Amino acid sequence: MPSFDIVSKVDGQALDNAVNVVRKEITNRFDFKDSHVVIDLNKKDYKLNIEVEDDMKLRQLIDVLINRSHKQGIAPEAFDYSKEAVQSGKFLKKEVLVRNGLKQEDSKKIVKLIKDSGIKVQAQINDDIVRVTGKKIDDLQAVIQLCRNANLGIALQYENMRN
């Protein structure tokens, strides 16, 4: 029976490369000349710690991060900017989480979306993946298209397509 997995994961090496490219670009940009900019990647917790002088530079840095990450194959939805920036002395600090793996509530949203669509497939949650099985590959491709068009706010990948 054909099946595939819906996952949400970020390649650690691609993330590291994106952060290094952002660092290099920021040091070469004129508008960041002689300004305090720190970008630290915690590979274990998938967190970015950003430290800049003001809010305008923070927004510019986030724009550069999104662009460079997208070129490395990381979807912009993989970053969680919900935490507010905190003023610490002269600098503005912000913690950006990188979403790696599907949370339980996101998995439930995906399964509900698939079941409500009426496509004849079964979706089940296994840890941080959603496995979709069906009798026809066309149904599975319809589910992939449904998830892409749903705009769930999370970066999804589709892998392990089996016949």
pLDDT digits (tens, 9 = 90+) for 61-92: 999 999 999 999 999 999 998 889 999 889 99
Residue range of the domain that includes 118: 3-8+102-162
Q: Which pLDDT value is given to residue 34?
A: 87
Are residue 20 and residue 52 in the same domain, yes or no? yes
Put residue 145 in one of left, alpha, beta given phi > 0 → left and psi -120 to 50 → alpha. alpha
Please state, in angstroms and rounded to a whole number, the distance separating the CA atoms of residues 65 and 23.
9
Of 98, 129, 149, the residue at which a domain comes to its end is 98
Residue 81 in tokens: 């900017």
Are residue 92 and residue 128 in the same domain, yes or no? no
pTM: 0.83
Burial of 101 (0-12, 13-18, 19+ CB in 10 A): middle
Are residue 81 and residue 115 in the same domain, yes or no? no
Q: Per-residue pLDDT tens for 119-141? A: 999 999 998 899 999 999 999 99
